[in-house]
Amino acid sequence: MKIRETNVKVSIIAVAVVIFFAILLGVAVILTGDFSILYWGIPSLLILVLIPIGLNYLSQSQYAELEPVYAKEAKTVRIRLINLGMIGQPVRIEGVVERVYFQFLNRPQFVVADRSGEISVKMFTSPQEKIRKGDVVEVLGLVIKRYFFGGDAVINCVSIKTIDKTIEARKKEQKEKK
């Protein structure tokens, strides 16, 4: 679904909750024969739909505003060089997605690797495009600690986009030939 220029994605869990309570509402109406239940039931179902949509819209629009800022300030680094001393610094990395977790919750976590190492990339909203294992991606984000009191360095992702490195390599080869 699209609201203004923002792609809004509702998680499967939120949809399942709405369906579950819609079924319960239908069963209650059928068993009791009391249609007045629908006066509060239908608005409650609408609220169960609108709250996740609204929250996702807010987070998506916030991330869209942050992306140009991070694109300007982020420095491109190799994954191996990211450490706890870089906490709070915006970074840009390129790598291959090795694993994808929690995408169905709209809070995906990716393990991205380049030739120097791998790092966990956490995103607190759904990405603009579907990211799969094996995709070559560019990540813009902020270096944070994995856990509040400790843990290793991870990236709080603002933007993750697939890139086609083979096309870029071919373009460079063509320029060199000319």
pTM, rounded to two decimals: 0.72
Decide: residue 122, CB within 10 A, 0-12 exposed, 13-18 middle, 19+ buried. Answer: middle
Structure token digits, residue 51: 């709250």
- Domain-terminating residue out of 15, 46, 72: 72
- Domain-terminating residue out of 72, 101, 118: 72
Q: How far is residue 58's CA from residue 34's CA, in Å, rounded to a whole number?
A: 38
C-alpha closest to that of 75 among 160, 161, 141, 1 = 141
Per residue of the chain (178 residues), give pLDDT as tens: 667 776 777 888 889 999 999 999 999 999 998 899 999 999 999 999 999 888 888 888 888 888 888 888 888 889 898 888 888 889 999 999 999 888 777 788 899 998 888 899 998 888 888 888 888 999 999 888 887 777 788 888 888 888 886 545 555 555 666 6
- What is the span of the domain harbouring residue 138? 74-168
Task: Report how many domains make up the chain.
Answer: 2
Q: What is the CATH number of the domain that holds 150?
A: 2.40.50.140
Structure token digits, residue 48: 């169960």
Beta-strand ranges (E) seen in 17-114 are 75-76, 90-101, 109-114
Q: Which residue reads 């995103």 in tokens?
A: 123
Q: Give a yes or no: residue 45 inside a domain.
A: yes
Q: How far is residue 87's CA from residue 172's CA, in Å, rounded to a whole number?
A: 34
